A and B are shown apart, each in its own frame.
Chain A
Amino acid sequence: MLLALTDKRTGLANGFLLLALVAASLSSMSLGTISVAPLDVLGSLLGKADPMTDFVVKELRGSRILAGLLSGAALAVAGCLMQTLARNRLATPGIIGIDNAATAFAVASVVGIGLSLAPSAMALAGAAAATSLAFGLAGANGTRGYRFIVAGIGIGAIAGAATQVMLSRVAIDAANAAYPWTVGSLNARSGHSVVILSIGLVLAAILLAIINRGLNTLQFSDAVAIALGTRLRAIRILGLGLSVLLTGLAVSVCGPVGLVALLAPELARTLCRPGKVPLLASGLAGATFMVLADLLGRTLFSPLEIPVGIITAIVGSPYLLWILLKPSNRSLT
């Protein structure tokens, strides 16, 4: 990651995104059903506030922001990785059905159908299953071309229907408990899932720093990449594995908020120097995006809450449509 900072434009972009993330987090700590003055937020962070302000700022909002920030970053990095490996900016985990499959598995664990594994583990299993299925169906073409994406749409549809079947078969209380997973919400996260996600993120950051150079060469053709000394196969498998890991763990925290994985790398690529894979910038952008979307969801119709997944869908879909419908789009497929 340090390598990325040596470049001036990328460094500036990362600095800007970090600033935006801090600003978004601070506003999110200050705004809500109860508004806390910005100075009191700072006071609380410095340990000089009354206990109730402290409770609201740190424990209620702080933990929620942390969960949003981590899951947003994880989804965005996973998206950026998969786009790079597939050389297709539409190939994000959400679009190829990984989110939905992870959700289906997590819901299965919440409503207790047969398996009693933790949602994190189940979401991971779901993500892995969907990915291998998409690859299996896409055949020799691998991640390239249309098949991968269409297979993903089919897998996503099956997983979505399976989730519906499960929800309609269980007691209403269990269905309510599983509801956040079906729309994407930060309201029902469990502390364990967040801890596991942060461990996953640290692990991914270390591994990505190691393979960063190899990833950058993937922007050229295979022949060039090999000539530059990249061990293509190893990098592909590792990168895809990390993408699945991050997606699965993030879904176990916030549910299927898939569009973050598409929008954040888009923004990062616009800001950073071309020719490099903007992993760090994607992560920062994803975290900012998630925190802002959750802030909107909490405050728009307070005291009722709009799940963060609905906000990102409403904000993100028009942008995705614009990418798709823009004439003469060379960077697609």
Chain B
Amino acid sequence: MVPNRAVASRASFPSRLLTTWLVAGFLLSLVVMASLLYGAGPVSPGDAFAALLGNGPDNAHFVVSELRGPRTMIGLVTGLALGLAGALLQSMTRNPLAEPGLLGVSAGSGFAVALAILFGASNATLTTFVAQLGALAGCALVIAATRVQGLGNDPVRLILAGATLSGLLLALTSMLMLMDQRAADEIRFWITGSIAGKPLTLLSSTLPAIAVGLLIIAMVARPLAAMALGEKAAVGLGHHPGRIRFLITLSVALLVGSATALAGPLIFVGLVVPFIARAFAGPDIRKTLWLCLPIGPAVVLGADVLSRLIAAPSELPLGVVTALIGAPVLLAIVRAGRMPSL
């Protein structure tokens, strides 16, 4: 379940970070256990544990392997993608508040899917593709906005523009739902974030895109760190800022689009995860990205476990829980003495 353990023990890895990373990985494995053991249904943690070991009642075995297992996998991948995308976007825009959800990237993705459903799409692969396309459009808008003079250096205006864009897309989606009641149920299902009951086939249709996103990150992590020293320094080191920005935009779009196809728009995950990671890793984007690997999945799965337990025997939408967890983090960032710049 813990990704990239082998890579993590590379010799170049600083030992202090390794400790943090191992602690985070341990926490993640705890959350994964919780995700497998606790649910809204009648299967007790004890029975679920027995089922994990291969015995236990038949029903527990089914619930763990067929319901909680896939759900946990989807949560892991979603958290991984959103955490990394948030860290990338924040580093590139040098804005600690640049979060895909807040900036309207997820809303763009959700709106694209809503449109596709309205025009009759139901195939999982198609919606994945549409979600990624929507995210790409959202990302392009964000990047265009940061290029506007003055806006790039003004975190508040940027996220306010993102919030406005999200509001606009949400209103348009509501209008689509009003006009076609039949599509409304399905659209509502897409625009409220959730990882329950999603088929594992969805995961296989998004994995290629996520793999490409990760590959790009591996390629641009070093130049991105150089860009943190200033564009001139990066150019001096032989990097091409324009090309790097393009690659990062592509990577963020692929990651957020895939995450939205898996779980619907989840806001604040991309804010919370890099925020925690930076607190431990410091300003180096490479270290932050490493730490996002275990923290992202842990945050999403932790929120999902809460969503099952708060409202049993039914469940809360995951998006609501991530907002309840994430908004206070936003407030904490604001409360911190000065706006930390990246």
Chain A residues near B148: list those with CB within 8 A.
325-327
The reply on A90 being an interface residue by CB < 8 A is: yes
Which chain A positions have C-beta within 8 A of B179? 301
Which one of B71-79, B111-119, B152-160 is at the interface?
B152-160
B320 with A161: CB separation less than 8 A: yes
Query: Closest A-chain residue to B333, C-beta based?
Result: A150
Contact of A320 among B164, B327, B333 (CB under 8 A): B164
Closest A residue, CB atoms, query B171: A313
A137 to B268, CA, bound (A): 19
Query: For A160, A161, A321, A326, which residue has the most chain B Cβ atoms within 10 angstroms?
Result: A161
Q: Are A157 and B164 in contact (CB under 8 A)?
A: no
Q: Chain B residues near A95 (CB, 8 Å)?
A: 160, 163
Q: Which of B153-180 contact A (CB under 8 A)?
A: 154-157, 159-161, 163-165, 167-168, 170-172, 174-175, 178-179
Please give, as numbers and ranges, the residues of chain B lying within 8 Å of A164 by CB-CB distance: 317, 320
Closest to A330 in B: B150
Interchain CB contact under 8 A, A137 and B331: yes
A residues less than 8 Å from B170 (CB atoms): 313
Bound Cα distance from A157 to B268, whole angstroms: 10
CB distance from A230 to the nearest CB of B (A): 28
Give residues of chain B (223-280) contacting chain A, Cβ–Cβ below 8 Å: 267-268
Interface digits, A11-49 against B, CB 8 Å rule (1 contact, 0 not)?
000000000000000000000000000000000000000
Given known contacts A301-B179, A310-B171, A154 and B328 CB-to-CB distance under 8 angstroms = yes
Q: Is A328 an interface residue (CB 8 A)?
A: yes
- Contact across chains for A146 and B172 when beta carbons are under 8 A apart: no
**Complex alpha-carbon distance, A146 and B171, angstroms:** 26
Q: What residues of chain A lie closer than 8 Å to B335, measured between beta carbons?
A: 137, 139
Bound complex: CA A146 to CA B164 (Å): 16
| A165-B334 contact, Cβ under 8 Å, with A157-B268, A325-B148, A328-B150 | no
- The interface residues of chain B lying within 8 Å CB-to-CB of A320 are 164
Against A, the Cβ 8 Å flags (1 = close, 0 = not) of B294-325 are 00000000000000000100001100110110
How near does chain B come to A242, taking the closest CB pair, in angstroms? 24
A162 contacts the other chain (CB 8 A): yes
A314 touches B156 (CB 8 A): no
Which residue from chain B places its CB closest to the CB of A157 in the assembled complex? B327
**B38 → A minimal CB distance (Å):** 19
CA distance A154 to B268 in the complex (A): 10
A137 lies within 8 A of B165 (CB) = no
- The answer, among B159, B172, B174, B321, for a CB contact under 8 Å with A153, is B159
B326 interface residue per 8 A CB criterion: yes
Docked-complex contact A146 and B156, CB < 8 angstroms: yes
Residues of A55-79 contacting chain B, CB below 8 A: none
Minimum C-beta distance from A263 to chain B (A):
12
- Report the Cα distance A267→B151, complex, angstroms: 24
B331-A151 in contact (CB<8A): yes
Whether the Cβ atoms of A314 and B172 lie closer than 8 Å is yes
Minimal Cβ-Cβ distance residue in B for A182? B174
The answer to whether the Cβ of B216 comes within 8 Å of any Cβ in the partner chain is no
Contact with A150, one of B151, B311, B330 (Cβ below 8 angstroms): B330
A151 B151 Cβ-Cβ under 8 A: no
Q: A168-B316, A306-B178 are in contact. Are A154 and B334 (CB under 8 A)?
A: yes
Given contact pairs A150-B334, A154-B330, A169-B311, A321 touches B149 in the complex (Cβ within 8 A): no
The answer, yes or no, to whether B145 is at the interface (CB within 8 Å) is yes
Within the complex, what minimum Cβ distance (angstroms) separates A194 from chain B? Answer: 25
A310 & B324 in contact (Cβ 8 Å cutoff): no
Cβ of B97 < 8 Å from any Cβ of A? yes
Contacts of A301 in B (CB 8 A): 178-179
**Does B27 have its Cβ within 8 Å of any Cβ on chain A?**
no
Cα distance, A124 to B137, chains bound together (Å): 39
Q: Which residues of B contact A160 (CB under 8 A)?
A: 323
Partner of B150 from A169, A318, A327 at Cβ < 8 Å: A327
Given known pairs A158-B323, A310-B174, A314-B171, the reply for A324 and B331 (CB within 8 Å) is: no
Given A139-B335, A324-B157, are A314 and B323 also a contact pair (CB < 8 Å)? no
Looking at the assembled complex, report how far the CB atom of A317 sits from the nearest CB atom of chain B, in whole angstroms: 4
Chain B contacts for A309, CB-based, 8 A: 171
CA distance A139 to B327 in the complex (A): 18
Inter-chain contact A138/B178, CB cutoff 8 Å: no
Choice from B155, B165, B268, B311 contacting A317 with Cβ under 8 Å: B165
Cα-based distance from A280 to B148 in the complex (angstroms)? 35
Cross-chain pairs A/B with CB under 8 angstroms, 5 sampled = A154-B331, A309-B171, A310-B178, A321-B161, A321-B164
Residues of chain A at the chain B interface (Cβ within 8 Å): 90, 95, 137-139, 146-147, 149-151, 153-155, 157-158, 160-162, 164-165, 168-169, 183, 301, 304, 306-307, 309-310, 313-314, 317-318, 320-321, 324-329, 332-333
- Of all A-B residue pairs in the complex, the 3 with the closest CB atoms, nearest first, are A313-B171, A317-B168, A146-B156
Give 13 new A-B contacts, CB below 8 A, not counting A149-B156, A306-B175, A307-B174: A95-B160, A137-B335, A149-B160, A154-B328, A154-B330, A157-B267, A157-B323, A310-B171, A310-B178, A320-B164, A321-B164, A325-B151, A332-B157
